[in-house]
Amino acid sequence: MNDLPCPSCRAPYPRWRIVFTPGVFRCPSCHARLTFSLDSMRRAGWIGALALFASAALADLVLGFDQLTTWRFLAWLLVFALVLGQVIRAIVGVLVLRDDLHRLDRPPK
Ligand SMILES: [Zn+2]
């Protein structure tokens, strides 16, 4: 996987670090606050929903429908969804400056 460029200084941000970082990031070189663009979050949401649906359908085939409603399976599905969400964000995510979302608060550069 290639690195994501910081939108402010173009310093690469390693994707594997995104997997372990929830929410807002800080660029290691210019310390700008970074977050994901709305478009990439929407894309990640779609892919995640499809992947979860596919895995639930697969689990239905492998384990049988009875297993799908047990708390154990639901707990695993929840953990799987959280991990999957982080990984998908790291793959399809596009970083933007977080301050762009509050541009009215401060004058543009
Ligand atoms: Zn930067």
State the average pLDDT for the chain. Answer: 85
How high is the pLDDT of residue 107?
Answer: 55
- Please give the distance, rounded to the nearest whole angstrom, from the Cα atom of residue 8 to the centre of ligand 1: 5
What is the tens place of the pLDDT at every residue in 1-38?
578 889 889 999 888 888 888 778 889 899 999 999 99
pLDDT of 59 over the 90 cut: no
Residue among 81, 7, 74, 2 at smallest CA distance from 45: 81
How high is the pLDDT of residue 102?
Answer: 55
Distances (CA, A) of 74 to 13, 50, 108: 34, 17, 46
pLDDT band at 101 (very low <50, low <70, confident <90, very high): low
3-state secondary structure at position 4: strand
State the average pLDDT over residues 41-54. Answer: 93
Give the Cα separation of 93 and 45 in Å (integer).
11
Q: To which H or E segment does residue 15 belong?
A: helix 15-19
- Please give the distance, rounded to the nearest whole angstrom, from the Cα atom of residue 71 to the centre of ligand 1: 43
State the average pLDDT over residues 45-69. Answer: 88
| Opening angle at CA 14, ends 13 and 20, nearest 5 | 110
How high is the pLDDT of residue 60?
Answer: 86
- Please give the distance, rounded to the nearest whole angstrom, from the Cα atom of residue 17 to the centre of ligand 1: 15
